[in-house]
Amino acid sequence: MAIITNNEEALRVKCSDVLPEEVGSIVDLLEKELEHSERMGRPGIGLAAPQIGIAKNIAIVRINDHYKINLVNCKIKDQYDLAMFKDEGCLSFPGRVENTMRYQEILIANNLVEPNSFILTGLPSVVVQHELGHMLGILLPDVAIKKKILVKSKLRPNDLCLCGKQNPPLKFKRCCGK
């Protein structure tokens, strides 16, 4: 298998839930493809089944050796603190990075592997939102903040700054508006 690149039609597939007996083999395929991508000079920290041509609700997140999550039939139950995330990338769009609006904290539910809900914050939250988006046919270009909108929209002094430098975001007048 190989990661599908720059083919939005192939990436916008309708995914079905994963059966318990399918989990192990699909996770193995995703891990092998993520490792292969890294060896080819395109490191990633998450990969969803639709990216390798499998229309199933499963993805992996591998931020480092100590932070590994298997997302199986997951849904975001609640989300908090929308903020701009700078330079988000995607293995299906090599070399492309975009600023996106993502929630800094999310509550995940309905995971087949770990049936209880759990909370993710920061980078893991962003990666999980990205990978779950793949399962819904939502791609990086869909969530990218349009540069024209940023240029055209005039921020008032008390609006939250969209630069993404501060977490939580400061008012524009206290950040980039100085």
Where residue 113 falls among pLDDT bands split at 50, 70, 90? Answer: low
The answer, yes or no, to whether residue 149 has pLDDT greater than 80, is no
Q: Where are the alpha helices (DSSP H) in 18-157?
A: 23-39, 122-135, 140-143, 147-152
**Residue in 13, 30, 123, 10 with CA at minimum distance from that of residue 71:** 30
81 is a domain residue: yes
Q: How many domains does the chain have?
A: 1
For 58-81, the pLDDT digits (tens) are 999 999 887 899 999 999 999 999
pLDDT of residue 32: 97
Least trusted range by pLDDT, from 1-15, 24-38, 143-157: 143-157
pLDDT of residue 115: 64
| Sheet containing 97-109, strands listed edge to edge, beginning at the edge strand earlier in sequence | 75-89, 97-109, 118-121
Query: Can you give the residue range of the structural domain that contains 98?
Result: 8-145
Give catalytic residue positions.
131
CATH number, domain with residue 123: 3.90.45.10
